[in-house]
Amino acid sequence: MLIREVWSPNQDARVGAVRHLVLHYTGMRTGGEALARLCDPVARVSSHYVVEEDGCVFGLVPEGRRAWHAGVSYWRGETGLNDSSIGIEIVNPGHEWGYRPFPVLQLAAVLELCLGVVGRHGIAARDVLAHSDIAPTRKQDPGELFPWGEFAAEGVGLFPAGYGASGAAGAAELLGEIGYDVADLGAAVAAFQRRYRPAEVTRVADFQSLGLMDEVCRLTRL
């Protein structure tokens, strides 16, 4: 994979091993705007990679360094996921500027990049994450149009093939086991639905959602 190096000053030393991969969308009108912001020392945000809509990949921060992409975050009892994660920003205007499907060339590049990161660092499928998974009250990216099922089929992340035993446990228990911060249960339910049932993001843990949660719990234990 050809990666164009674009240095971001917004980085520092990493403490500990890489255990998570976090996918974002840029949420800005153009990829150029996003790159400029991610390299602006005043903004104090960055990511390891940016993937343009035409599939061009930019490297901003070495994987051995900490990028500043996760913000206030939580997953499976761990906070501050900048310390332990690789961040990939996918160019897309997002919900504020005209959210749209991700182009085929872009998704192919993101998949190849993810496979490399997961392989190099031994990242577990349960720890390939959406920004909305780790910050459900603040974020909704990469959003309902990201093809998590297709990525899971290729070895990046996990996705349920069917339903588990809905009713066996409540939403707070199930989502907590998966890894979500359930302090705001409605936000956690919405984040789960945005990833695993994107056609209906209701914030309500209905029968179907509980069944999906149960199956995702089972997959995280494998």
For residue 105, the domain's CATH number is 3.40.80.10
- Per the annotation, the verdict on 144 as an active-site residue is no
Question: What is the model's pLDDT at position 190?
Answer: 98
Question: What is the model's pLDDT at position 117?
Answer: 98
Question: What is the model's pLDDT at position 169?
Answer: 82
Q: Looking at the structure, tell me whether residues 115 and 209 fall in a common domain.
A: no
Q: Looking at the structure, tell me whether residues 34 and 116 fall in a common domain.
A: yes
Contact 90, 24 (CB under 8 A): yes
Q: Looking at the structure, tell me whether residues 57 and 148 fall in a common domain.
A: yes
Question: What is the model's pLDDT at position 33?
Answer: 98
The secondary element (H helix, E strand) that includes residue 118 is helix 104-121
Q: Looking at the structure, tell me whether residues 112 and 63 fall in a common domain.
A: yes
Find the angle CA(91)-CA(137)-CA(170) to the nearest 5 degrees.
Answer: 120
Specify the 3-state DSSP secondary structure of 162.
coil
Q: Looking at the structure, tell me whether residues 132 and 58 fall in a common domain.
A: yes
Q: Give the domain-ending residue among 102, 126, 153.
A: 153
User: Is residue 33 situated within a structural domain?
Assistant: yes
pLDDT by residue for the chain (222 residues), tens digit each? 899 999 999 999 998 999 999 999 999 999 999 999 999 999 999 999 999 999 999 999 999 999 999 999 999 999 999 999 999 999 999 999 999 999 999 999 999 999 999 999 999 999 999 999 999 999 999 999 999 999 999 999 999 999 988 766 899 999 999 999 999 999 999 999 999 999 999 999 999 999 999 999 999 998
Q: Looking at the structure, tell me whether residues 141 and 175 fall in a common domain.
A: no
Q: Looking at the structure, tell me whether residues 132 and 43 fall in a common domain.
A: yes
Length in residues, the chain: 222
Cα 207 from chain centroid (whole Å): 25
Question: What is the model's pLDDT at position 1?
Answer: 86
User: Is residue 88 situated within a structural domain?
Assistant: yes
Residue position matching structure tokens 């249960």: 185
| The model scores a pTM over 0.95 | yes
Question: How many domains does the structure of the chain reveal?
Answer: 2
45: closest CA among 16, 24, 74, 17? Answer: 24
Q: Looking at the structure, tell me whether residues 197 and 147 fall in a common domain.
A: no
Q: Looking at the structure, tell me whether residues 202 and 135 fall in a common domain.
A: no
Q: Where are the beta strands (DSSP E) in the chain?
A: 3-5, 11-13, 20-25, 49-51, 57-59, 65-67, 74-75, 78-79, 85-90, 128-130
Look up the domain containing 67 and give its range. 3-153
Active-site residue (options: 52, 89, 177, 215): 89
